[in-house]
């Protein structure tokens, strides 16, 4: 184990190079342990065996918290064993205690790129180029070769949305595993879906603007959808807020739901989100 290329003993001095910098190339699983810790000694051979089996798909880094106190303190290690997974210089996941081997493998598998991911990325690139036939061929191949990769469901949902099959898009998103329903890509697609659906029947922009200015609720909503895909989120939110103020019943409260969808697209901490969430709540109360 000491000579394994997949396992490294890390010190306070080598942490930046061995963990942070290396995690930009490959996931690094950091095991915080101590000599006196019996569960640590139970966990170590399991982690080492998995590291050997994965043959470089991740690196196992071992940190003795009694000897390397600076790093242990930096990450607030209060109980051991604690295992943290680093990717791109940051902690992206962690667990504590001596988990069973199967659970550890499941934990790692969530962060290890699969061979089919490259094909999915090619399919997404093809969609960006509006080459939907190539995208479909690639996704059919992935579905046959690696049906367990949930990303193929997301990619197929995006393909269906681009083809205007909105019901199929929704069905695919609903078919995602429960633990993937809040995946950022899934939330983005769900947020975009009602706006793409609205735009599919929208007239030209000039006609939309004229109808929205005359008070047409449908046109106002469609114009907001258009602004979203033009990346003019503030104008979109302003239109939705005005529609919410004027016609709450339109589309089963579509304006409020639309604002929430835009908040999801932008991320909950964006300044624009905070400002318009406040305006929305003021209107609601």
Q: What is the pLDDT of residues 100-128, one digit of tens each?
A: 999 999 899 888 888 898 999 999 999 99
Question: Which of 7, 30, 37, 83 is an active site residue?
Answer: 37
Mean pLDDT per 10-residue segment, the chain (285 residues): 82 94 94 94 94 93 94 90 94 92 90 88 95 96 90 95 95 90 88 94 95 96 96 96 94 95 85 93 90
Q: Residue 270's pLDDT is what?
A: 82
Q: Residue 2's pLDDT is what?
A: 53
Cβ–Cβ < 8 Å for 6, 22: no
- CATH code 3.40.30.10 region(s) in the chain: 7-109
Q: Going by CATH, does the domain composed of 198-284 fall within 1.25.40? A: yes
| Residue in 182, 29, 36, 37 with CA at minimum distance from that of residue 111 | 29
- CATH code 1.25.40 region(s) in the chain: 115-181, 198-284
Is residue 28 helix, strand or coil?
strand
- 30 backbone dihedrals φ, ψ, rounded to 5°: -105, 120
Q: What is the per-residue burial (b if ≥16 Cβ within 10 Å, else e) of 92-131? A: eeeeeebbeeeebeebbeeeeebebeebbebbbebbeeee
Fold of 115-181: 1.25.40
CATH superfamily of 7-109: Glutaredoxin (3.40.30.10)
Known catalytic residue: 12? Answer: no
Q: Residue 84's pLDDT is what?
A: 95
Known catalytic residue: 37? Answer: yes
């Amino acid at each position: 184990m000491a000579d394994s290329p997949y396992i490294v003993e890390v010190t306070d001095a080598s942490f930046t190079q061995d963990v942070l910098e290396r995690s930009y190339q490959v996931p690094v699983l950091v095991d915080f342990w101590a000599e006196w810790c019996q569960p640590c000694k139970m966990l170590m051979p399991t982690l080492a065996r998995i590291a050997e089996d994965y043959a470089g798909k991740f690196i196992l880094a071992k940190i003795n918290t009694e000897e390397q106190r600076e790093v242990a303190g930096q990450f607030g290690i209060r109980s051991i064993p604690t295992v943290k997974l680093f990717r791109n210089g940051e902690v992206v996941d962690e667990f504590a205690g001596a988990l069973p081997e199967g659970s550890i493998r499941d934990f790692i598998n969530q962060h290890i790129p699969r061979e089919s991911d490259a094909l999915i990325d090619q399919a997404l690139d093809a969609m960006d180029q509006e080459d939907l036939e190539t995208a479909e061929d690639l996704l059919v191949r992935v579905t046959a070769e690696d049906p367990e990769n949930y990303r193929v469901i997301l990619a197929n949902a995006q393909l269906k949305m681009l083809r205007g099959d909105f019901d199929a898009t929704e069905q695919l998103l609903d078919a995602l595993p429960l633990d993937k329903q809040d995946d950022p890509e899934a939330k983005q697609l769900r947020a975009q879906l009602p706006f793409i659906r609205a735009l599919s029947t929208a007239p030209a922009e000039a006609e939309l603007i004229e109808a929205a200015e005359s008070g047409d609720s449908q046109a106002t909503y469609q114009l907001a959808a258009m602004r979203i895909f033009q990346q003019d989120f503030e104008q979109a939110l302003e239109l939705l807020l005005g529609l919410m103020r004027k016609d709450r019943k339109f589309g089963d409260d579509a304006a409020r739901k639309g604002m929430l969808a835009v908040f999801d697209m932008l991320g909950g901490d964006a300044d624009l989100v905070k400002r318009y969430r406040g305006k929305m709540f003021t209107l609601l109360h």
